């Protein structure tokens, strides 16, 4: 119930941002158009955003024939978690990472990069996939998928406001400085919304994943190894779609600055410390 409330709050906040930017672009009529767009985006995000994200990463669905060991691992963990079997995807990407998506446990998918399969041991990989299934079990995969889709849409709308300007309800042009501020602040506001709900979610998925796998040390080791290897391997798809970074088990974005300041992931050190304390 609490996650349903969080999803509703997220959609309301994103809709308000849409309307504010719409008002900047076209005054009152722009605000109403933005409201209609936001309602449509919320509907689309609920039903189809998981497929959009999987396409962004060119994820390929696998089964017991094409990836028997990995598929069997996910199936075993799903049974331990008392979850329906999710769809399983692989991403041809050297950077080690993984995520879960979907609107509910009955329509869930988990995806992992080929890089994470190479660098982690079977035990560590079980810990990672258990973490992703914990997201499914906690029903917060919808929140992350919707927020990724809507944050990307806000960034595009903010850029539109910058390059095409805007008018108030009287038809007067806005100060171009306002457009620049909207272009900068609107995506940051979307990031703050994501950050507010994402960091606590990661801690809960770590705890839940450790309980599903029965091996908190394995997940702790996996997180340390992922961070170590990811530093030297950029994840191109995540760099192109930074709004999806909060879906990953570990922050895939390179660079610091504002990206680091508004990171949706807690520090690896703190996550590892909490996992080791579960022993």
β-pair type (87-91, 108-113):
parallel
Q: Domains in the chain: how many in total?
A: 1
Q: Give the helix/strand (H/E) hosting 231.
A: none
Domain that holds residue 140: 2-276
Model pTM score: 0.80
The pLDDT value given to residue 187: 64
Q: Which amino acids are annotated catalytic?
A: 132
Please tell me the distance from the alpha carbon of residue 187 to that of residue 167, in angstroms, as a whole number.
Answer: 21
pLDDT tens, 173-212? Answer: 555 565 566 666 666 666 666 666 666 789 999 999 999 9
Say if CB 152 and CB 241 are below 8 A apart. yes
Phi, psi of 108 (to 5 degrees): -105, 160
Is the predicted pLDDT of residue 259 greater than 60, yes or no? Answer: no
Find the farthest-apart pair of alpha carbons in the chain and give their distance in angstroms, rounded: 65
Distance CA(227)–CA(234), nearest Å, equals: 12
Per-residue exposure over 208-222, b if at least 16 CB sit within 10 Å of its own CB, e if not: bbbbbbebbbbbbbb
């Amino acid at each position: 119930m609490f996650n349903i409330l969080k999803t509703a709050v997220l959609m309301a906040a994103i809709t308000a941002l849409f309307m504010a930017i719409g008002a900047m672009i076209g005054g009152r009529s722009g605000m109403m158009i933005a409201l209609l767009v936001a309602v449509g985006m919320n509907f689309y995000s609920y039903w189809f955003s998981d497929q959009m994200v999987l396409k962004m990463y060119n994820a390929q669905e696998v089964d017991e024939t094409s990836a028997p060991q990995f598929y069997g691992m996910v199936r075993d963990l799903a049974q331990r978690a008392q979850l329906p079997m999710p769809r399983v995807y692989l991403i041809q990407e050297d950077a080690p990472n993984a995520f879960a998506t979907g609107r509910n446990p009955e329509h869930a998918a988990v995806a992992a990069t080929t890089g994470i399969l190479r660098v982690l041991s079977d035990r560590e990989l079980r810990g990672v996939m258990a973490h992703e299934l914990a997201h499914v079990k906690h029903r917060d995969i919808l929140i992350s998928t919707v927020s990724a889709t809507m944050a990307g849409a806000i960034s595009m709308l903010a850029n539109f406001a910058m390059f095409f300007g805007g008018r108030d309800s009287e038809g007067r042009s806005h100060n171009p400085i306002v457009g620049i501020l909207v272009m900068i602040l609107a995506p940051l506001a979307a990031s703050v919304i994501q950050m507010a709900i994402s960091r606590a979610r990661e801690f809960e998925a770590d705890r839940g994943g450790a309980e599903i796998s029965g091996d908190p040390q394995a997940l702790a080791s996996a997180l340390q190894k992922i961070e170590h290897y990811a530093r030297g391997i950029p994840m191109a798809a995540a760099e192109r779609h930074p709004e999806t970074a909060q879906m990953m088990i570990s922050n895939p974005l390179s660079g610091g600055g504002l990206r680091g300041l508004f990171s949706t992931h807690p520090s690896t050190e703190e996550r590892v410390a909490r996992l080791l304390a579960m022993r």
